[in-house]
Amino acid sequence: MKTNNFITTLQRKVAFTAVGPSALRGQGKGVLRASQNLLAQIPLTKIPKLSKKEFQLWLEHQTTLLLDNLPIKNRPWGAARKAINLFLRDALYNKYLSKKFSLQLIEKWLEVPLDSAVAKGLKLNGDRGELPIWPGLKSLTREVSEDFQVFASKQAHLKGIAKVHLDMYLWLANR
């Protein structure tokens, strides 16, 4: 098997395992499969690695692409962003993808994948009123997500880790 074919196959596998049925439960018919298929085709070679701002613009673009490819009328921004964040986290954790695409260079910019368990964990670590009410994944907006991401950055800093890794602690603790 050629290396490129292996990497392509591996990216597809990571897309399907990182974003499983429980990750996008209740988001609409076909959302899971459409998300997995799009993530399997993201050109990881084109992820900006020199600037946080460029990376964030790339992430916004990928979120919009995913939303545009969903087979439903509503546009669940939160579900699309969670899927992308889960995929990027697991690609970072995969030694072959991480090495091939130098994903360690974006580790510090990756977002914690948000869902109710992670939001609950963040809220438990904050003061009353410090974070907005969790609206649910279907109703999550860019602005509310940003509030949670900023708070997650502070919590990750206290632990000495990148915020993407908070998912391991918060998701497990609030299941």
Domain range summary for the chain, segments of one domain joined by +:
3-108, 116-173
What would the pLDDT profile of 12-65 be if each residue is shown by its tens digit?
A: 999 999 999 999 998 889 999 999 999 999 999 999 999 999 999 999 999 999
Supply the pLDDT for residue 8.
97
Supply the pLDDT for residue 28.
86
Mean pLDDT of 80-97: 98
With contact defined as beta carbons under 8 Å apart, do 150 and 126 qualify? Answer: no
pLDDT at 1 over 60: no
With contact defined as beta carbons under 8 Å apart, do 58 and 103 qualify? Answer: no
What would the pLDDT profile of 92-120 be if each residue is shown by its tens digit?
A: 999 999 999 999 999 999 999 999 999 99
Supply the pLDDT for residue 2.
62
Supply the pLDDT for residue 171.
76
What would the pLDDT profile of 126-175 be if each residue is shown by its tens digit?
A: 899 999 999 999 999 999 999 999 999 999 999 999 999 999 888 778 76
**Does the global pTM surpass 0.75?**
yes
Comparing CA positions, the residue from 28, 150, 30, 24 lying closest to residue 87 is 24
Residues 6+ positions from 160 with CB-CB distance below 8 Å = none
Supply the pLDDT for residue 3.
64
CA atoms within 13 A on the CB side of 34: 17
- Exposure class string for 46-83: b at 16+ Cβ within 10 A, else e: ebbeeeeeebeebbeebbeebbeebeeeeebbbbbbbb
